[in-house]
Structure 1
Amino acid sequence: PDIRVIVFRGVPVMAMMRCATHASDGKANLHQGAVGVGLDIGEGFSVAAVQHGSLVTHHPDTGACFKSLRLPDWDAILDLAASCAEMTGLGYLGADIVLDRTRGPMLLELNARPGLAIQVANQEGLIHRLGIAAEIARTAADHDARIREAKIRFHRPEAVLQASDSAAAGS
């Protein structure tokens, strides 16, 4: 799987993990049947998981439960994604990151126009978060302060239970 982090003006705004499936032919493309797992910016745990636009609670091939998912090295992932915005000068981008067993988070690629399916995986739209991110970018003193404030403002501890519980109720 890879991790997509949307960054706006140096502020991590939204993230998801994309998990390949047999249906997606081993590719992490959501439109081909991969699972998108929305991730809490505050702590890197799963918020919701979707496949073909429908909520799911488990990986369709492995049976792994998404509800208990929490990514390691979350602070390093956000730091890398935010650093990419600073390096490129892009005001809005999607940083695709992979986790290497020995090296930790590594940049896979940057997207100047990342897709918007991340909103479905997070069960939330981007527009409100972009307004908050613009405010953070204006007021935060530096790179670390932007990330720290994003982790506070976009943290959704209740979302993991609500989304997963409602998906389980529908299965």
Structure 2
Amino acid sequence: MDETRRDRDIEGRAHNARPRDGLGRPLPYGTAGVERQPEGVVRTPEETVREAQRLLDAGMPFHAHEVFEDAWKSGPDAERELWRGLAQLAVGLTHAARGNTTGGARLLRRGAAALAEFAASGGAGECGGTPVVTAYGIGIGPLTGWATDLAARVEDAGAPVVDAAAEAPRLRADS
């Protein structure tokens, strides 16, 4: 098989069909990889959170990012920052688990900022003036704290590569 070809869908758009590992890294054609998330799936917010948490817990944050990306693209504009922020947290964890400390920390902080922006726009409830939980039970405060803490830890010189499953955040504030 030609390793340099670009896979295309039936409309001619680029679509990478190479197998991937659990962290989304491309593997050689013909290698058994992790089943990819189907693209363009419209889920309810509850289904999105449940599927993304399952993937995060399995140490597959790249795949969780794809679930959040679907919600980001198909959801209402008012929730765009929520799903974009969660996707960035998942990609940040992916990079940290791949050993890319700079990119991981940057994306974790960017995701935390997007979540804070969503909360500040009225997308989450408050507790003592601090945005805490969305209508879907997503804990904005705990997630931004997790992301900020993990970003600092991965940037620490000599820090070990992150274990994605062990570092998986809890999305719902009640879990």
Q: TM-score, normalised by structure 1?
A: 0.28
Higher relative contact order (CA 8 A, sep 6+): 1
Q: TM-score, normalised by structure 2?
A: 0.28
Larger Rg: 2
